[in-house]
Amino acid sequence: MTSQKLVIVMDGDNGVMWIGWIEFDVLLGDVHSLKEKRAVIRPIVAELKRKYEVAAAETDHLDLHRRAGIGASLIAGDSKHVIDVLDAVEQFVSGRPEIELLSARRKLAKSDD
């Protein structure tokens, strides 16, 4: 199991943290087993973590070989940064040729909500 560092950047003016997350429901193409599914999903999740410095994981449809849920989240002191990263993550996932993006849901919250 790999550990992941979480860096929290606080806004100096008001001390608010912004928490953002996005969930994807994806359909996989020519996949016939859970092992093949993991071979497609695992590199996507790893690339999200590496490229965008988000927490990411396969989150849904774990027992279905042609469907997957992927989630990503981050925390920052600036809502614009969170929105920009979530936009980039969504563009990355939607551009992957080996999967079809069925839906994407996102949420943005403040720590003082």
Are 68 and 28 contacting, i.e. CB atoms less than 8 angstroms apart?
A: yes
Tell me the pLDDT tens digit for each residue of 29-61.
Answer: 899 999 999 999 999 999 999 999 999 999 998
Half-sphere exposure (CA, 13 Å, Cβ side) for 17? 9
Helix (H, G, I), strand (E, B) or coil at 99: strand
E strand intervals along 1-113: 18-28, 55-60, 67-76, 99-110
Please give the average per-residue pLDDT across 68-84, as a whole number: 96
pTM: 0.83
Q: Which fold has domain 33-110?
A: Alpha-Beta Plaits (3.30.70)
Domain layout of the chain by residue ranges? 33-110
Average pLDDT for the chain: 89
What pLDDT, on a 0 to 100 scale, did the predictor assign at position 13?
Answer: 42
pLDDT band for 1, please (50, 70, 90 cuts). Answer: very low
Q: Supply 12's token pair.
A: 């100096």
Enumerate residues 6+ apart whose C-beta is below 8 A from 34: 63, 65
What pLDDT, on a 0 to 100 scale, did the predictor assign at position 14?
Answer: 67
